[in-house]
Amino acid sequence: MRLATAFAMTLAAMPVAADPVVVELFTSQGCSSCPPADALLGELAERDDVIALSLHVDYWDWIGWTDTFATAGYTARQRAYAQAAGTSVVYTPQFVIAGTDQVAGPSAMELVSRISAHQGTTDDVLKAVTTGSGGTAIQADAGGVPARLVLAELLPKATVQIGRGENAGREVTYHNVVRDWTILADWDGSPTVMDLPEPADGHYRVVLAQSMADGAPGRVIGAVKLD
């Protein structure tokens, strides 16, 4: 049975939880091991109880293909997760679940297990609200825990024809590609409302509330899809 098919069947058997679990995939167009993980993230992107994020790193670019979605900022985020885990090693593909658990490679069953373990653990602290001018704002209720509020702008789907590098000649489809990452505020946990910019055409937005420790990201305490 194909990995993606088995993963889809397992996902279908998972109960749907009310609070979304944030799953980040650190990936690269230049990494030959990444397409199966990219496909798994596509399956997760279909679920209402998961916020799936594809973050493309730039350290594969030297092989001969410059990833069209990569930024140094996403590489830095992955390295910060490694720092939080007490290591300097980063690799692709790598999933990070809820800001705390890390899964190497397209390990479908382990990924499902980690997601299931985090269902229902995200706090209901973020809500999308409409402003008086008809725009969108984020309402952060009292969370009791300081956190960083982040706005991520996503491209829902994109297919790339890769010309060089380890995936030369392959056409790969990516889902929920993070195209912009904006720190809104370092939130003290008290109730607040912040206006948000409109997304670029064809993109949509999510907001995360994530605990921080010594500059490194930690547990995602809240998350909401806005579009």
Q: How confident is the model at residue 47 (pLDDT cuts 50, 70, 90)?
A: very high
Mean pLDDT of the region 115-142:
85
pLDDT at 84 (0 to 100): 92
Mean pLDDT of the region 154-163:
97
**Model confidence pLDDT, tens digit, residues 1-40:** 454 554 444 444 444 445 799 999 999 999 999 999 999 9
pLDDT at 134 (0 to 100): 75
- Write the DSSP assignment of the chain as a string of letters: --HHHHHHHHHHHSPPPSSPEEEEEEE-TT-TTHHHHHHHHHHHTT-TTEEEEEEE-STTGGGS---TT--HHHHHHHHHHHHHTT-----SSEEEETTTEEEESS-HHHHHHHHHHHTT-S---EEEEE-TTS-EEEEE---SS-EEEEEEEEEEEEEEE--SSTTTT-EEEEEEEEEEEEEEEEE-SS-EEEE-PPPPTT-EEEEEEEEEETTEEEEEEEEEE--
pLDDT at 130 (0 to 100): 87
pLDDT at 107 (0 to 100): 81
pLDDT at 120 (0 to 100): 83
**Model confidence pLDDT, tens digit, residues 163-212:** 999 999 999 999 999 999 999 999 998 999 999 998 999 999 999 999 99
pLDDT at 132 (0 to 100): 74
pLDDT at 16 (0 to 100): 44
**Model confidence pLDDT, tens digit, residues 52-81:** 999 999 999 998 899 999 999 999 999 999
